[in-house]
Amino acid sequence: MGAQWAVHRLYMRKGVTVMKFLSIRLAGASLIVLAAAGCTTTGIGTGQVVGQNVGATFTWTQSGGTRGTMVAQLSDGQVFQGPFFQITSESVVDYDPLWNGWGPGFGWGRGWGGRSWGWGWGGWGPWGPSMDTITHYSGQVLANLQGPGGFMRCDFRLMRPSSGMAGGGAGTCQLPSGTIINAQFPPRY
């Protein structure tokens, strides 16, 4: 009890009430939970076996921007599950040649003519000599889902590739027997 009272007196002496301290801790914990939840997106899709009266329901969970897990449940009782991936590529962009002849300097220095304006490289803000990596989203998602009699392979095209599966899309899946399922995923927003 003595240690708790000493901590309470310390906060009171600094002008911070215990209630405010607890409110700040609660707000910080809430932000952490929201940030962690923001990294995972879930959704559903539907499908129909071509030429048959068999439907499919797809549920997916995307972690990160380009990968996740998917479960396909057919109306005849078969269930397939496994990973999916969006095909991406990366490029490194080197802006250095754009700055040849413009003089030295990163920093909070001078603009043209020695005038002090702007910030960053010569008043151009953060846009200056740098190398950036850019991700190119193909819009193609591949899935390999395992079921009772083998694997279902899927190939989807996304409507908004940079949004991942949440951007919606459509495509086909092939059952181990060769039967084709047409699938669609509505956008989540």
In terms of CATH, what superfamily is 40-92+132-185? Quinohemoprotein amine dehydrogenase alpha subunit, domain 2 (2.40.128.120)
Length of the chain: 189
- Does the structure show a pLDDT above 80 at 136? yes
Asked if 10 and 35 touch (Cβ cutoff 8 Å), the reply is no
C-alpha torsion sign, points 12, 18, 19, 20:
positive
pLDDT-above-90 percentage for the chain: 49
Question: What pLDDT score does 75 carry?
Answer: 96
CA dihedral (138, 140, 146, 150) in degrees, to 10, reads -120
Question: What pLDDT score does 9 carry?
Answer: 56
More confident residue, 133 or 95: 133
Count Cα neighbours of 96 within 13 Å in the Cβ-side half-sphere: 3
pTM, rounded to two decimals? 0.64
Beta-bridged to residue 67, according to DSSP, are: 85
CATH 2.40.128.120 range(s) for the chain read 40-92+132-185
Reported as a single tens digit per residue, the pLDDT across 53-63 is: 999 999 999 98
More confident residue, 127 or 54: 54
